Structure 1
């Protein structure tokens, strides 16, 4: 890094001083805070994105967003070359950059990190960053700060991709680095053409008349509702009515959105008894989460929730069916038995895990956090992961996709229109419709709709795949959350000694009882999860385990 580069960095950094006492930590959601204090952070993440681009010789993404938070909150996420999350190896550096108290300290950190990582500044590669923002009013000024950060690295180029959902930007980064076209119109075209392909392949015997033609979607007053309005104009075979687009004056994530619906289990604003029995869906603020629901017929605000666990189950049933068709043909030399895996966290309802195992699927648990789920799913030929909150996707290995393409070509030449050829084509269409970079509510919604029509299922048929066990979640305030050490995907407490044995004793008192505790990643609390065969038992188990945590570690439960 030469003198001109250092001077440029120092001069630019002086324009974005951090607020006194600012302390941020990069997590699954990137950096997240009130928009009013994030100017310096956005500038510095622009620098980090440019350095990451130079290091990887790839296009990197920078997204200004904050999922299900209130409208005044904002945040920033970095998308790595694969379209996924920033490498965990770089997270400590991002923390150091964000929290550097002055320009001189910032420059020193950058110089040391560039040397340590051997990041080239020889001009052989031009750093390219794709930037996106959502509809929050603060987005435009924060975007300008991020651009300044990118440009403070001499020669780096910032491409403003406009207002996007977070998954759209991740998709664009992945596509660019695979040498594909990556504009927003390319995103829409890939989703819609894949959806049309799946619709064209619906079996003749599918009971389409049992499915309500109309889908009503809660857009959370965010960017997802805005983009869905664009998509619905290009759709055929599906009528979408979008509420809470943000244009009606509603406030982002306030009484609306997937997070609200999933946690409160009540209708979002604008929905009521007049929607009883109709298939409804809810996006979160930046459209990376999706849940479905129907308004209960005996209530104006209660819902029958179809959460991420059931979305995962629907996808698993469909993919398993297509694989069974393909693997039923073991003639010839070009055959391959795909390894299909389902990845959940301990928060997945036990009934969903039992259902998936009953189907004969391989089900594994990881610690909480998308980065763990995504990495584990990537180990399969086809890996499906979802959290109950509606965030998830399907991953296809490059090896399996290559085989599938070859198999489809082979089948097209010898048995055009056969069930084998259709099964291969359906799986290829799913791989293009689903966003393999991150969870994407828009692509997920289109896939759900195509599969429901393929199966001939209404939302009620789908919801009856299994009955969720009653569950409860509590928080217990503790003096030191790091005193809790867990293992086995956070399902077993290793420390403090004796706590797990005491929890096991409480679990044994319940029918179908299950409970675990884990330290929060952001608060000085321990989170308690409990489920059992009845509401009363789930409540009792959760309270008993919370009391145990309080006795071992706490300062009072909340």
Structure 2
């Protein structure tokens, strides 16, 4: 690093000193905190984004958002060249520079890291960063701070893409690095054309009743509602009514949004018994999560939640069917490519969902909690589907499979155009373009759900009846040191302290369809407990018993 560059970094960093006593860590969702203390962090992540671009010689994304957090919070995260999350290898560096106590320490850390990573930091290389923000009031000023961080790196250029959903920015980064058009208009065009293709390929007689043609969507008073208002005007064959679009004075994520609906099992603000039985959906604050729900006729009852597990199951059924049709067509020919389809879940997936998927003959694997783990595993398949129960997930298609599928579609169009095999190939190609392969995307996911329901001729009630969720319960137990709890097998088995897993197993054995696991929190000294069983009473009892085990081995009473 030359003296001019060093001076530029020091001068810029001195404008945004860190808040005293604040220590932040970069998690799956980046940094998040009250917006009032984030200037220093966002400025330094701007520097990080520029360095990441220099290292990879690719376009990088920086998003200012706190997703489903309250409106007074904000956050910042990086999109890697693939459009996915920041490489885990860089997360410790993100933590170090975010928490550097002064500009001199910050620059020393940067110098050390640049040397270790062999980053071309001599002013002769360029860096390009796409910026986006959601609708939070603090977003605009924080984005300007991020620009100043980026501009303190010689050769770095920031492009402000405006107010976006988080998945839109990830999509843009992925598209740019593939040499494709990557404006918001391009995003909309790709989603709408792919949706239209799937709608055109719906089998005769499969369309759902006109009375079920309407979809009610809770926009969480966030950016997703705004973008859906744009999309719905260009759709054919689907009528959408958007509630909580942010224009009616509602507060972002307050009594609304996918996180609220999924956790509390109640209808969001604006939904009541007049919507009973109608297909409803909810986005989260930055539109990377999606859940569906059915409002009960009795306002005192809980909603019927159609969560990420059910969305995954719907996608898996459809894709499995299309692959089967394609396989039948290939058996008559000479080109029989056996695509490997895999489903990826975490231990938090409801046991009934996992059993259902296995009964379909699908390969189901588990990873530790966290989108980055799910995404990485899904990428090992020709088609990998992952979803968390909270509604975050997507479908990944391998380049090899898509190349084969394109060639197979061309071949089929010349020898048997309009055949069922060719239609299946076209549907799979359309799915690969409609779904956001960079990251979970509530808008693209919603359109895919709607196209598949029409293809299958299913109402939301039939979809919801695929399987019955097992009752579950989640608790958390405060502990002295969460790192004392070590797990294995995708967080389903405790290996330390010794004796904990044996005690949990003994409790599980007492309950019909019992299952329970514990895992340390990534951010606070608590152990999270999950339990499920055949009845809610049994699930609650099992969770309490396992929580008592945690307290006995790891709680404050055990340290006395």
If the length of structure 1 is used for normalisation, what is the TM-score?
0.98
- In structure 2, the residue matched to 1:225 is 225
Distance 1:100 1:123, change over 3 A: closer
Cross-structure match for 1:3: 3
Report the equivalent of 2:556: 555
CA shift, 1:360, in A, is 0.1
Q: 1:367 to 1:66 in 2, by over 3 A?
A: same
2:378·2:396 contact (CA, 8 Å) conserved in 1? yes
Q: CA deviation at 1:121?
A: 3.0
Q: Is residue 54–residue 120 contact of structure 2 (8 Å, CA) maintained in 1?
A: yes
Shift of 1:333: 3.3
Q: Which residue of 1 aligns with 2:434?
A: 433
Residue 539 (str. 1) matches residue 559 (str. 2): no
Deviations 1:435-484 (A, max 9, x none): 00000000000000000000000000000000000000011111111111
Measured at CA, do residues 506 and 300 of structure 1 come closer, stay the same or move farther in structure 2, by a change above 3 Å? closer
CA distance in 2, matches of 1:171, 1:193: 16
Aligned to 1:66: 66
Aligned-pair distance for 1:416? 0.8
Who is 1:198 aligned against?
198
Where has structure 1 moved over 2 Å in runs of 4 or more?
121-125, 297-302, 331-335
Partner deviation per Cα, 1:305-334 (whole Å, 9 max, x = no partner): 000000000000000000000111223333
1:132 aligns with 2:126: no
Cα drift, residue 124 of structure 1: 5.0
The secondary structure found in structure 2 opposite 1:438 is coil
Report how far residue 4 of structure 1 moved: 1.1
Matches within 5 A, 1:467-478: 467-478=468-479
Report if aligned partners of 2:125, 2:155 keep a CA contact under 8 Å in 1: no
TM-score normalized with structure 2 length: 0.98
Task: Determine if the alignment matches structure 1 residue 399 to structure 2 residue 411.
Answer: no
SS where residue 511 of structure 1 aligns?
Answer: coil
Q: Secondary structure at 1:328's aligned position in 2?
A: helix
Q: Does 1:363 align with 2:356?
A: no
CA distance in 2, matches of 1:156, 1:446: 36
Structure 1 contact 30–78 (Cα < 8 Å) conserved: yes
1:433-472 pair list within 5 angstroms: 433-472=434-473
**Is the 1:273–1:300 Cα contact (8 Å) retained in structure 2?**
no
1:486-525 paired onto structure 2 within 5 Å:
486-525=487-526
Q: CA deviation at 1:301?
A: 5.5
Which residue of structure 2 lines up, in the alignment, with residue 269 of structure 1? 269
Superimposed CA distance per residue, residues 70-111 of structure 1 (whole angstroms, 9 cap, x where no aligned partner): 000000010000000000110010011100111111111111
Residue-by-residue CA offset, 1:121-173 (whole Å, 9 max, x unaligned): 35553100000000000001100000000000012100000000000000000
8 Å contact kept, 2:64–2:76? yes
Aligned partner of 1:336 in structure 2 is 337
Q: Give a deviation string over 1:200-238, Cα, whole Å, max 9, x none.
A: 000003142276111000000110001100100111100
Q: Number of matched residues?
A: 557
SS at match of 1:63: strand
8 Å Cα contact 2:208-2:459 kept in structure 1 = no
Please say if residues 51 and 119 of structure 1, whose CA atoms lie closer than 8 Å, have aligned partners that are also in contact.
yes
> How far 1:335 moved relative to its partner?
2.3
- In structure 2, the residue matched to 1:390 is 391
Paired position in structure 2 for 1:110: 110
Q: Does 1:85 align with 2:69?
A: no
Cα distance in 2 for residues equivalent to 1:123 and 1:411: 52
Aligned 8 A contact 1:211 1:458 in 2: no
Q: Secondary structure of the equivalent of 2:553?
A: helix
Q: Secondary structure at the match of 2:46?
A: helix
Map of 2:486 onto structure 1 = 485
1:362, CA displacement in angstroms? Answer: 0.1
SS in 2 for 1:375: helix
Q: Does 1:421 align with 2:422?
A: yes
Structure 1 Cα separation of the partners of residues 80 and 207 of structure 2: 43
SS at the partner of 2:437?
A: coil
8 A contact 1:272–1:301 mirrored in 2: no
> 1:356 and 1:192, CA in 2 relative to 1: closer, same or farther beyond 3 A?
same
Structure 1 residue matching 2:70: 3-state secondary structure:
coil
TM-aligned CA deviation for residue 556 of structure 1: 7.4
Unaligned runs of 5+ in 2: none
CA contact (8 A) 2:114 2:121 kept: no
Residue equivalent to 1:289 = 289
> In the alignment, what sits opposite 1:240?
240
Equivalences for 1:89-100 in 2 at 5 Å? 89-100=89-100
1:300: Cα distance to partner?
5.3
Q: C-alpha distance in 2, partners of 1:356/1:302?
A: 26
- What is the Cα deviation at residue 552 of structure 1? 1.1
Maintained 8 Å contact 1:344/1:387: yes
Any stretches of 5+ residues in structure 1 without a counterpart? Answer: none
Determine helix, strand or coil for the equivalent of 2:212: coil
Which residue of structure 2 aligns with residue 23 of structure 1? Answer: 23
Check conservation: 1:220, 1:245, Cα contact below 8 A: yes
Query: For residue 527 of structure 2, what is the aligned residue in structure 1?
Result: 526
Please report how far the alpha carbon of residue 10 of structure 1 lies from its aligned counterpart in structure 2 after TM superposition: 1.0
Question: SS state of the match for residue 342, structure 1?
Answer: strand
Provide the rounded CA distance (Å) in 1 between the counterparts of 2:422 and 2:123: 49
Are the counterparts in 2 of residues 210 and 458 from structure 1 also a CA contact under 8 Å? no
Partners of 1:463 and 1:555 in 2: CA distance = 42
Aligned 8 A contact 1:272 1:300 in 2: no
